[in-house]
Amino acid sequence: MESFIDIFTQYRTVIVFVFFSCFALFLDIFMHKESKVITLKNASLWSVFWIFTALLFAVYLYFFGGTETIAGPQMASLFITGYALEKILSVDNLFVMMAIFAWFNIPEQYRHRILYWGIIGAIVFRGIFVLIGTSLFALGPYVELVFALIVGWTAVMMLKKSAKTEEVEDYSSHFAFKLVKKWFPLWPKIHGNQFFISRNVVEEELLKPENKEIKIDTNKGKKGKYFATPLFVCLAIIELSDVMFAFDSVPAIIAVSKEPIIVYSAMMFAILGLRTMYFVLEALKDQLHYLEKAVVILLFFVAFKIGLNSTNHLFHHGYSIEASHSLIIVMSVLFISIVLSLLKKKA
């Protein structure tokens, strides 16, 4: 019994984190079993729920999450900073998801299902990235400097992109699209909320008058039992896009703290609320004009913070940005972007 208590005490924060996230995830699954349109009211309420869950975990960290090296209040501050930063950096990712959904013409009632499995994939891939990222950061200041350059380059690319007229990307040439097409035959029409349909269903669909223009030779080429639908192709592109976004978001959170539990929990709680945040952002995207600008500003800030930390290790100049100051900067940038957006709407 004593050894069990010792183990629980040692990994208490991890156990509580797993309990919080699993409970919230299963509750979300139970409440969204049916494929239906998510209203702005519903999405807003669920967004508040996810934020409340994250803040509840932060309260736990404040009182019980301290370690030998980090006090509870500091750990809670680092968590909230990482959580807020990941939330804001996810905005650009969500705008890309909107473009992908629009290109595939995915009905609104099926988007929650795609986002759900996309989030599951993001949780797995971000965990891998966090382990790799924290390990690389431990190698020394030169690695930090490389990460600072990567994040800074991402900010510059986003700044150039925002200055140009947006063009609709042809996702049929996307790597994920080609990869799915290589492994599965494709059925070009959405078939309910299914990611795959059987060969027998395809043959039945081809007999219907409305599908007479679809040309698929079911006796030639791939002999797979299942055909991938546009929903699965869309999911594959979203998953790969999220992996690409992880290259800047993971270093950004690690810049806040190198403690894996803080980094991963902050990202996890932010990602869990990403689906409902998508529907809120989709409804309000024309009103939050400066939100993407806030993402660019914060990426420059993160690059500066990582660069300052790495050069301090190399040259011992003594300058650094405290966790509390990072939190103030992140929240201020978010607040100012929202206020300016609302003022622009009124004007």
Residue 125 belongs to a domain = yes
Residue 232 belongs to a domain = no
Burial of 270 (0-12, 13-18, 19+ CB in 10 A): buried
Extract the residue ranges of the chain whose pLDDT is less than 50.
1-9, 165, 220-221
pLDDT at 7: 44
Residue 199 belongs to a domain = no
Instruction: State the chain's mean pLDDT as an integer.
Output: 80
**Taking the complete model, does pTM exceed 0.85, yes or no?**
no
Domain count for the chain, please give it.
1
Give the closest residue to 112 by CA, choosing from 30, 35, 45.
Answer: 35
The letter for the amino acid at 117 is: W
Q: How far apart are CA 195 and CA 73, in angstroms?
A: 45
% of the chain residues with pLDDT over 90: 3
Residue 26 belongs to a domain = yes
In sequence order, the 6+-apart residues with CB closer than 8 A to the CB of 343 are none
Residue 286 belongs to a domain = yes
Residue 92 belongs to a domain = yes
pLDDT at 108: 85
Q: How far apart are CA 42 and CA 342, in angstroms?
A: 22
Helix (H, G, I), strand (E, B) or coil at 117: helix
Place of tokens 């690319």: 157
The number of beta carbons lying within 10 Å of the beta carbon of residue 131 is 13
pLDDT at 5: 47
Q: If residue 228 lies in a helix (H) or strand (E), which one and from where to where? A: strand 226-228
Residue 337 belongs to a domain = yes
Residue 61 belongs to a domain = yes
Domain membership of residue 69 as a residue range: 17-168+244-346
Token code pair at residue 29: 């699954």
Handedness of CA 320, 325, 327, 329 (dihedral sign): negative
**Segment 143-170, tens digit of pLDDT:** 888 888 888 888 888 777 765 545 556 7
